[in-house]
A and B are shown apart, each in its own frame.
Chain A
Amino acid sequence: MDKKSNDTFAFDLENRLDDFFSDSLPPKDDSPAPKADFPLKDLKSTILAIDWEITDDALDDFLYRIDGLAEPFKDNKVNQTLLRILKSLGKYIRTHKSKAHPETIKRIMAVFAALEESVTNDELSRSDKEKMLLEEVRQFKRLKEKIVESPPPRPSVASPKPRKAVDVSQIQALFEAIDQLKSLMASELGAIRKELRQLRKE
């Protein structure tokens, strides 16, 4: 390994680190971003938070973000309806918490994906968007029927799933670590129990 290439590498690395940790905000994307891009990002992060753990704070934030989007989307019926569905699902989880139907989070994800598509995909025609909305409304009704049909007591706080915005491999690494921890703790508990049994015998 020659010294020169080492020096250039170290130099590039230092520069990259300086840029990355600098105080300045990241350079803005030159491509015209839709106005609703930022509020949608906030909503997305609250959805990711709910997917990770359902807490009152996360749900409050989620509902707050939805309300915040009402104004920017007031002239767009499709987005407005999708927001209404999201709000309704959010309120349902807020009320029933861990007893909420386990499919609710999945539905929130799907409705949000449709909203995101509707907001960010300029190539989508109005009729495409309406078709997408109809499908979401249909699925929403189906979930409502399921909720009515099935008595609730099913725990809904599912094991955390990899979130879209986060690199899958990184999340996998985390889950693997958690799994390892779980089995390690189980084996440690087993060992402690064994020790206790032995002590009792003595």
Chain B
Amino acid sequence: MAFINTKTKEVQVKLVFVGPGRGGKTTNLEYIFKRIRHRIESDMVSIKTQGDRTLFFDFLPFELGAIKDYNVKTQLYTVPGQIKYNATRKLVLKGVDGIVFVADSLVDRRESNINSLNNLKDNLRFYDIDIADIPIVFQYNKRDLATEGMPILDVETLEKDLNARLNAPSFTASALKGDNVIPTVKKAISKTVVAIRKKLL
């Protein structure tokens, strides 16, 4: 649940990037940080294992500024995608307000995407959250690999696998090249802030 301080007119929003391991969650955050670093005072914090994999999480806090009367502060997190780190994933999801699900478009990652989404559902359920009730945006990442001749899933398949029931906004993207990274995060923030406002009023 978002942290709201009515006295100081401050809203703190927590967005978590979720998805299978090596799907591009950290790359998304790194690109966002690169794009906004001249505007923000904070740094991106990454805690890595050997081999540059995310062990705990990446963390990027920034102030969006005043919207209406409220100063909106946003915290972006990623979770480790590897199956073995579920305890960490669960913990990072505590108090989550919105989700960006970064799916891997590679054909052989189809099952990992589905498993990761199911794992997200389970972890949210742990906090009494139904995935249908939380703002979520899908990003079908690594679309650029098609140009390199790699077999990638078509958007219809990804939508059917992951988004058929939720019917959430979705974007094809290449986090490595920065394609559609910003539209994804913008949509996620806007959906989340609007949802929080609805809950408040």
In the complex, whether B121 has a CB less than 8 A from a CB of chain A is no
Contact in complex: A20, B190 (CB < 8 Å)? no
Our pick among A14, A165, A188 for the contact of B41 (Cβ within 8 Å) is A165
In the bound complex, do residue B67 and residue A173 qualify as a contact, i.e. CB atoms below 8 Å apart?
A: no
Query: B interface, by DSSP: helix, strand, loop or mixed?
Result: mixed
Contacts of B36 in A (CB 8 A): 20-21
Q: Smallest CB-CB separation from A174: which chain B residue?
A: B59
B161-201 vs A, Cβ < 8 Å mask (1 yes, 0 no): 00000000000000000000010011001100110011001
Size category of the binding interface on chain A: 35 or more
- A residues adjacent to B (C-beta < 8 A): 1, 6, 9-10, 12-14, 16-18, 20-21, 23, 25-26, 45, 48-49, 52, 163, 165-167, 169-171, 173-174, 177-178, 180-181, 184-185, 188
Which B residues have a C-beta under 8 Å from some C-beta of A? 3, 12, 35-36, 38-39, 41-43, 45, 56-57, 59, 61, 63-68, 72-73, 75, 87-88, 91-92, 94, 182, 185-186, 189-190, 193-194, 197-198, 201
Contact B42 A17 (CB under 8 A): no
The smallest C-beta distance from A29 to any residue of chain B, in angstroms, reads: 13
For the complex, what is the distance from the CA of A128 to the CA of B59, rounded to whole Å? 40
| Chain A contact residues: helix, strand, loop or mixed | helix
CB-defined contacts of B38 to chain A, threshold 8 Å: 25-26
Residue of B nearest to A2 (CB): B201
Tell me how far the C-beta of A19 lies from the nearest C-beta in chain B, rounded to whole angstroms.
Answer: 8
- A177: chain B residues within 8 A (beta carbon): 57, 59, 91-92
- Alpha-carbon distance between A17 and B75 when the two chains are bound, in angstroms: 15
Whether B64 contacts A20 by the Cβ 8 Å rule is: yes
Once A1-B201, A21-B186, A173-B75 are accepted as A-B contacts, the answer to whether A16 and B64 lie under 8 Å apart by CB is: yes
